[in-house]
Amino acid sequence: MGTLAFDLRDAFRSFRRDRGYASIVIVTLALTIGATTAVFSIVDGVLLKPLAYADPDRLVALREIWQEFVSRVPTVEVNERHFEYWQQHASSFDALAQYVVRPANLTGVGDATQIAIVRCSGALFDVLQVQASIGRTLASSDDPADAPDVVVITDGLWRQRFGARSDVVGTAMVIDGTPRTIVGVIPPDFRLPSGRQLTAAFDAFVEQSGDGDARMQAEVAAESGVRIGKRAR
């Protein structure tokens, strides 16, 4: 203990004698500590911390490989018709859901504005095992073309446009000219997988359009008991 105190006093005297050197040491330490903290935050968020879903090791993201383009584009988003085929014939998964984020025009609720909507399979929330904080999420029964036009909104849109009203379910809003009925609000901490990250850059969820030429990302949950070694974040 005495040696440590002596060393600290000696170091303090050295710093007082050469303040320029002391400043360089202090700045270097600050930059090193800051860089180390930033790197750890990235590693913790990307590699160490599990996805914010139930059973995250059973979630995988699928993309397609087209041999004729693989030298230029290693993978592409899943074609909707291929996805529908997998839904009917794949037996290795509990459930499959697809989604794509697109810009849309919101009217009928205050001033017109552009928002980001997620066009998705009704099964998306079942795949991710996410429940609505108010009302319900989309379901497979919302997928058919003759089903009512409904929408699930984010917590942020609920607060900004609807004043956090508890009776928001049943309220109408217009997206790209189509009147839709709000059926639920998702929790504020919900994030959607996007590439290797999680994003909250969206405002509402509607059923997929059914355009067979659309390029959609496909999210897949592996069947019970299967564990996936690598997962997309």
β pairing state of 93-107 and 172-175: antiparallel
DSSP 111: S
| pLDDT tier at 164, thresholds 50, 70, 90 | very high
| pLDDT tier at 166, thresholds 50, 70, 90 | very high
Burial class (CB in 10 A: 0-12, 13-18, 19+), 59: buried
Identity (one letter) of the amino acid at 168? Answer: V
Residue bearing tokens 């006093």? 9
* pLDDT tens-digit map of 123-156: 899 888 899 999 999 999 998 889 999 999 999 9
Residue 123: left if φ>0, alpha if ψ -120 to 50, beta else—which one? alpha
Q: Which residues contact 143 (CB under 8 A, 6 or more apart)?
A: 121, 122, 207, 208
Degrees to nearest 5, angle at CA 145 with 144 and 151: 80
Task: Give the mean pLDDT of 12-33.
Answer: 70
Identity (one letter) of the amino acid at 198? Answer: L
Dihedral angle of Cα 202, 52, 139, 63, to the nearest 10 degrees = 80
Structure tokens given for 180: 């839709």
Q: What is the pLDDT of residue 163?
A: 93
The C-alpha atoms of residue 79 and residue 86 are separated, in whole angstroms, by 11
Q: What is the pLDDT of residue 229?
A: 38
- H or E stretch at 67: none
Structure tokens given for 176: 């790209």
The yes-or-no verdict on residue 53 having pLDDT over 80 is: no
Q: What is the pLDDT of residue 147?
A: 93
Mapped onto helix, strand or coil, the DSSP state of residue 183 is strand
The C-alpha atoms of residue 106 and residue 115 are separated, in whole angstroms, by 7
**Rounded to 5 degrees, what are φ and ψ at 64?**
-100, 155
Q: What is the pLDDT of residue 22?
A: 63
Task: Give the mean pLDDT of 105-112.
Answer: 92
* pLDDT tens-digit map of 194-216: 766 777 889 999 998 655 444 55
- Total-model pTM: 0.69
Q: What is the pLDDT of residue 105?
A: 96
